[in-house]
Chain A
């Protein structure tokens, strides 16, 4: 709302939240690649999940039809997003809930902080939510003197370890059991010093640690996986029961939800409840799914709020090719199959949205210029597209964003037109991996030798304000890593 006209799609503002990294992807990725423990942890975890997921997907006779249905429902949703949000608002309000709208992270943080303040609480418990990570809600609450307590096991590991999340579903995926034990021994007050690194023992320690918090905290903040426009029902899909605790025990519940999470009908929910658990944790069904519709007298929170968050989503919706990224149900299947993610981990992507989905979502939320290296953080192998339960064509969006980056620079007169043409040609070749590999190698060699490439790529190498090409290109080190990594 600051620098734009009312009504023009706007990107997420800088300076708040976690959508922009401190450094470009290739720089951060190189550091991650120097950490062999990280790579072992990731390879082990993503290998486990891939095997589980493909086993339970093979049990479903109509998986391709379900994916097509998921895509159709989301396309329908995006085409009617404004009216569906109004319908959702009316249904939630009729059921006794209160709906708030936030154009960006700053507004959302202010709304939540004010709501918590109004209750007089100085602590809130949180069930894992990508939206609140995206807007940096914890930092905003802390600045207002309110303590946010993460209750999801992985989030707790990250919070206690003063770490950053590195995966959508399992934010502590970069930690193995021995490292988690270390964090608990160091940071968990009153923990049994004889704690072992058995996963069951670690889970039990978290149970003991959070029990009193659940019973005594008056306000909870959640996200939502789905919101049904026709009924006003919100759904949270989880495993541990911390979600149920947060959604049931407090007096006040505040849910922060990206506007793209709305779905039209109750019946549509059936498609996503089948797609999400099998694609994400590789289970037929996750242990717990909670659904609530406004306030139920005598059962659960009696003050129920829903904050609808734009924060750049309207800008994504404005891009005809890129808008399909709003279909994402945050299952993280694309991370788990991505050969680049498996080696670099999530931190290298800078934003809270790592992996293939992050490479196409973050640059659209912030504007491509602010995350310019992310659309290149991919080998375009296509595994993410195949794995995606709602059939988002991530490789095509990556190529599109590369071209958009070039076009935006040209429009801003930051690059002579010939070079823009060359980079657009390069973007095309990036869609064709062999051509791309050859062109990148040639570009690297061209720089070193001070020689121009033949047209149309000569504009690229001759450029003076080209971002300095690393001596070794992403694709080269990438294919070398692949060789190195082979067991």
Chain B
């Protein structure tokens, strides 16, 4: 407790020595994009920005999600996929072993080839999908250990800007903002895909 009191006293003394001018005002900046959430042009922009950072993007009607996902997993050669307990039943791919996460161990998850999740929100301008650990996305660990992540995004979840996304999110939830597959800029400052997170990111954009 003493360190707390000392630190706070030091900071108060520092401010008292040279009182700063209060700055409660925030200069204005752009919070909303020009297009409303879900606008087809916005969804196109999301697709373009995702592709730019080496995510694979697919379009599917609501009814065709399961088949599209199954096709992606087959092309990847995946044999077992984990899904969160709340993934919509009609998104579950056929023709592959589907494991519903039920507090699976890290070692078990690491053996699985792929994961399918929904998203909470997507930011078109930055090519970002955000997971908030809701029942259709699951625990953070399930979208981390399998090497391929398939994420299904509905049009009304697509917003233009980062501030719009923040306004839709609940701070208390664990949040993971994902912009492309795992990458590093540590070798000569070039972006190289594929380090510790999923090395392949597939995003399925539905029409509703």
Cβ contact within 8 Å between A283 and B176: no
Is there an interface contact between B179 and A285, defined as CB atoms closer than 8 Å? yes
**Is B6's CB under 8 angstroms from A259's CB?**
no
CB proximity of A203 to chain B, nearest CB, Å: 5
Q: How large is the interface on A (under 10, 10 to 19, 20 to 34, 35 or more residues)?
A: 35 or more
Which residues of A284-302 have CB atoms within 8 Å of chain B's CB atoms?
284-293, 296, 298-300
Query: What residue in chain A is nearest B24 (Cβ atoms)?
Result: A76
Chain A CB within 10 Å — which of B29, B103, B125, B140 has the most? B29
Given A249-B106, A318-B13, A240 and B196 contact (CB-CB distance below 8 Å): yes
In contact, A288 and B29 (Cβ under 8 angstroms): no
Residues of B in contact with A (beta carbons under 8 Å apart): 3-15, 17-18, 20-31, 49, 53, 103, 106-107, 110, 123, 125-128, 133, 139-141, 144, 161-163, 166-167, 171-198
8 Å CB contacts to B: which residues of A72-92? 72-73, 75-76, 78-79, 81-82, 85-86
| Shortest distance between the CB of B99 and any CB in chain A (Å) | 18
The CA of A458 and the CA of B190, in the complex, are separated in Å by 51
Contacts of B174 in A (CB 8 A): 290-293, 296, 299-300
Give A486 Cβ to nearest chain B Cβ, in Å: 22
Least Cβ distance of B138 to chain A in Å? 9
| A–B Cβ pairs within 8 angstroms, 7 of them | A170-B185, A199-B187, A231-B171, A245-B197, A274-B162, A284-B127, A293-B173
Q: B27, B106, B126: which contacts A69 (Cβ < 8 A)? A: B27
User: Does any Cβ of B come within 8 Å of A49's Cβ?
Assistant: yes
Residues of A within 8 A of B22 (CB): 76, 79
Verify if A439 is at the interface (C-beta below 8 Å from B). Answer: no
Q: What are the 9 A-B residue pairs with the smallest beta carbon separation, nearest first?
A: A241-B197, A7-B9, A318-B14, A241-B196, A314-B10, A240-B195, A320-B18, A231-B171, A270-B163
Contact assessment for B178 and A101 in the assembled complex, using a CB-CB cutoff below 8 Å: no
Shortest B1–chain A CB gap in Å is 8
Q: Mark A96-109, 1 if CB is under 8 A from B, else 0.
A: 00001111000100
Task: Give 1 or 0 for each of A309-328: 1 = CB within 8 Å of chain B CB.
Answer: 01000110111100100000
Is A188 among interface residues, defined by CB-CB distance under 8 A? Answer: no
Q: A7-B12, A103-B7, A273-B166 are in contact. List 6 more A-B contacts (CB 8 A).
A: A69-B27, A76-B24, A241-B197, A270-B163, A271-B29, A292-B174
Which residues on B sit within 8 Å (CB–CB) of A299?
A: 133, 139-141, 174
Indicate if the CB atoms of B10 and A215 lie closer than 8 Å.
Answer: no
A210 at the interface (CB under 8 A from B): yes
List of A residues within 8 angstroms of B13 by Cβ: 7-9, 314, 318
Given contacts A200-B194, A284-B126, A284-B179, contact A103 B186 (CB under 8 A): no
A54 interface residue per 8 A CB criterion: no
B51 shortest CB reach to chain A, Å: 13
User: Are B189 and A207 neighbours in the complex by a CB distance under 8 Å?
Assistant: no
Confirm or deny: A452 has a beta carbon within 8 angstroms of a beta carbon on chain B: no
| A residues in contact with B166, CB < 8 Å | 266-267, 269-270, 273
Per-residue B-contact encoding for A107-141, CB less than 8 Å = 1, 0 else: 10000000000000000000000000000000000
B17 cross-chain contacts in A, Cβ below 8 A: 9, 318
Which B residues are CB-close (under 8 A) to A308? 7
Cβ of A296: which chain B residues have Cβ within 8 Å of it? 133, 173-174
Cα distance A293–B172 when bound, in Å?
5
Are A10 and B10 in contact (CB-based, < 8 A)? yes
Tell me the complex Cα distance, A259–B6, Å: 13
A32 to B165, CA, bound (A): 45
Q: Within 8 Å of chain B (Cβ to Cβ): is A65?
A: yes
